[in-house]
Each structure stands twice: as structure tokens, then as C-alpha cells.
A and B are shown apart, each in its own frame.
Chain A
Amino acid sequence: MIKHMKEIILPGKLVANEPKKIPGCYIEDGKTYASTVCMSGEDYVVPLKGVYIPKTGDLVVGIIKEERFNGYVIELNSPYDGQLSTRDSREELKMGDVIYAKILAVDETKEATIVDPRRLWGGEMMEIEHVKVPRVIGKNSSMLGLIRDATNTTLFVGRNGYVYLKGEDTALAVEAILRICRESHVPGLTERISQMLREQSKVKTPAQAGKNEQEEQVSKEQTVNTRYG
């Protein structure tokens, strides 16, 4: 039995007969057309591919690309880099350090000003497509909670598509995240992932939700930006 798949919408296909500002779409002659590969979503379409452009208020995971006398250049999985001033950074950072931070503002050249950096260490990092980030987080960070409990891992999911993992069974967490990205267009994703985690989880006593207050705070802030469940 072949499972039902959501409809894939390709560039140039009509999405709406009226001008609508939807991610992955463009407006021409008062109508809305898809500009990237999308799938049918709750309201209109959800892009399946895309390039990350820094946006004000986004929480991101970045890598220190360059040190300057007055700050750092941050690589954000995007064609545009971020700028972090030493004034906004409590600790001294080095090239190659991974930080979890917030985008304060984006200027007209799309360069992002980054504040509130938090250095992440002792874990590992992975890269996913930034359009899949809402799926990895899930509604009210349900998916994130699922992975965290089954693998006892602390997860930092940046809106730019960088994910930082630290904890017990990160290999399973990575596998789960990659599977979410691969299968997000097939309905029943949450059941499949929770089944997979149940079967493969090696954690004896699942970490209780809310054990780490700071981490909870992080996922709450992230859900503010979650547009697609």
C-alpha cells in the first residue's frame, strides 16, 4: 500500500488567484505562483526547499567565522553573515566556536546584528534545511520534546537550519532529525518518529520534561516563530 503523499507544487504553478504573501511564492499580475518546490499545506503552501535569509528576532545557531578587533563574523548557513560586537558578548570567543544567539536587526544589505550569544560546547552540530526547522520543533515543540526525552539530549535548533546536540544518545537524535527532514511531506510523521524512538531508545528513565529550565525557555521562544506545525 502506498501511503498518501501531500501534493508537491513546483515553480510556476498557480497557488492563489489573489495576491498573497506566502513563503516560497511570488506575485505576478495580481496572482500568486510558487517560486520554489512546495507542498500543499493548511493555508496554501509550505516550501520544501529554500535559502535562509536572516530575519529580525530569529534564534540561530552560528559558527564564529572570523575574529575582528571589535567583534566577530558569524556564519549562519546563509549567503549573508552575522556581526557580533564584543560589547554584546560576555565571553571571549574563538574562531570555530559555536554559539546560540538572537538576531537583533537586519540591515538593508541583509547583514544581521547578533546579540545574546551563548557558547555551546561539548556537543555536536548538524545542518538541515531551514524550511524543515518548524517540523523538527513541532507544534508547541512536541517533536523536540519527543526526541529530547527518548535520547536524553539537549537540542538547540537554530532557525537557520543548524542544530546543536549534546547529551546521551545523540546518534539516535541525529537519525530522528534527518528522518523528519526526509519524510516531512508524508502524513503521519509524528507517529512514525515516536515509534522509531520508542523502538530504538536506549535511555532507561526518560528525562523529565522541564528538568532543565533554561532549555525549556529556549524551546518556548522558538515556538513563537513556528508557523507550520
Chain B
Amino acid sequence: MVEKEDLLKDGKRRDGRGLTDLRPLRINAGVLKKANGSALVEWGKNKVLAGVYGPREVFPKHMTDPYRAIIAARYIMAPFSGIEEHGRSGPNRRSTEISKVVKNVFQNAILTDQFPGTMIEIQMEVLQSDGGTRVAAITAAAVALADAGIPMRDIPVGLSAGKVNGEILIDLDKYEDNLGQSDMPTVILPRTGEILLSQLDGMLTREEISKAFDLILEHSKIVSEKQEAALIERYRKVSEEIGEGEANDSG
């Protein structure tokens, strides 16, 4: 059992990270064949698969908005995703809440007025969870949306900060989230620094919040770079293959 005192020792966290180190992050775009766009994010022990479908006909039809596209987001944690019992993976309080905030995030990022009367579906499956899955899910969904060719103002970046044993940390894992004092998942648009989502669990002072935001803004660049690399990788791979093929021909 992990104790509160184990979380921080001599400025090091349980997994050996410093206070402002992110967990290793890997993003792959275009992993699902049948989806319009997809992405797999592996962020520490988190594994989130996101798929985007649409824009397409609205279902149920009465939800149609004649002025803009509506967004249907679905965040689900797989029953086998965590250490704790998750039960059936149907809609529950937690997944309903996260689906709603994800929907609001992307309503402000996608240029929905370009597709009036349609629906864009975002599906996020948490295959393995270790704290901070909602920001991982949003990070994955953002890549999947760009991969689907849905026009966006920018690629949103999700990152969480929090307070553990009196220190402000970035990218909290499950134990830091559960046993720490506070957790603040945040989503920003990297170009303008707009904040699309900021939820707060626990309590932080004004100064601590400001410090947490500074950390998030600073480290979101790392996440953003990975997202961009994942999207470019698909094209780079093709051009590399062509280069190799021609090298073989001449040799």
C-alpha cells in the first residue's frame, strides 16, 4: 500500500521523476482503419484510444443545430483499465461528466459553424488508467480530430497539475491524485494560451493556482510537440519509404 509520505522524498517522486517532469509520452495517429481519424496516447501507464467519426447525420435527429455541428463525446473507462474495480463500462457519473467537459472543450476548438446540421462523434476508450486520464483522453481526441481533417482553431493540449505534500507538481499519477491535496486538469490552446478546461479537485491558494498554470503553460509545449510529431509522422514515413525505394533501385 502506498502511503502519503512515500509520494515525495528529497524532491523525487515515487517513480523517480522530479517535481516538474512529465511521464514518458507516446502518441500514434491513424491507428484505427475504419474511423475518420484516430489516435493512441500512451502517457506513463495511461493508455487511451480515441476515434473520430463524422461530420455526419445527427442522431437523434431532434438534437440537430441548424447553425453549427454538434459534438457527441463519449469517454469510457474499460472495466479492466485500473487497479480498482470499475464494474461495467456503461455510462456512469464519472464518464457522463468527463464526456460533457470534453464536448465543451471541442466546441470551442472545432470550427463547428462550417458544418451546420451535422454531428461529430468523438469516442475515447481508456484502456489502462493511472491518473490524469481525462487530459490524456483530450490530448488523444485532439490528435484524432486533426487526423480526421476536421477544421480546428488549434490542437488542444491537456495537462494536469496539482499539490502533493505542499508542493506543486505537474502530471500527477494515480496515487498523487488520490493521496495528494489537490488536482487540476487543464486544457489549453497552445497558440493563444486560451484555457478551455480547468477543473479543480481539493484546494489551492491564489498563488498556487497561478504557479500551477505557469507550469502547465510551460510544459504543454512538450505535449504539443508530441502531438504534432505524431501527425507529421504519417507523412514522413511515406516519404522515407520512397527515398529508400529509390536508393535500392540505384544501388
Chain A residues packing against B (C-beta within 8 Å): 1-5, 8, 10-12, 24, 26, 28, 33, 35-37, 39, 47-51, 53, 79-80, 109-110, 129, 131, 182-183, 185-186, 192
Contact = CB atoms under 8 A, between A and B. Distances in A.
Contacts of B190: 12
Interface residues of B, number: 36
Contact of B155 (A12, A26, A47, A48): A12
For chain B, what secondary structure do more than half of its interface residues adopt (helix, strand, loop), or is it mixed? mixed
B80 interface: no
Given A37-B146, A51-B150, A183 B242 contact: yes
A183 B153 contact: no
Contacts, number: 99
Given A8-B231, A12-B190, A79-B115, A3 B242 contact: yes
A48 B116 contact: no
Contacts of B151: 11, 24, 26, 35-36, 50
A8 B191 contact: no
A109 B116 contact: yes
A192 to B, nearest CB: 7
Given A35-B111, A109-B116, A192 B149 contact: no
Contacts of B149: 36-37, 47-51, 129, 131
11 contacts: A5-B236, A8-B231, A11-B146, A11-B153, A33-B154, A35-B153, A49-B148, A51-B150, A53-B115, A79-B117, A131-B149
Interface of B: 54-57, 66, 111, 114-118, 146-155, 189-191, 228, 231-232, 235-236, 238-240, 242-243, 246-247
Given A28-B153, A36-B149, A51-B55, A8 B189 contact: no
Contact of A1 (B54, B111, B189, B247): B247
A127 to B, nearest CB: 12
B117 A109 contact: yes
For chain A, what secondary structure do more than half of its interface residues adopt (helix, strand, loop), or is it mixed? loop
Q: Which 5 A-B pairs give the minimum distances between C-beta atoms?
A: A49-B149, A12-B154, A35-B151, A5-B239, A2-B243
A52 to B, nearest CB: 10
A12 B189 contact: yes
B116 A11 contact: no
Given A8-B231, A10-B232, A11-B146, A186 B117 contact: no
Contact of B66 (A2, A37, A109): A109
A186 B234 CA distance: 12
Contacts of B55: 51, 79
B119 to A, nearest CB: 8
Contacts of B115: 51, 53, 79
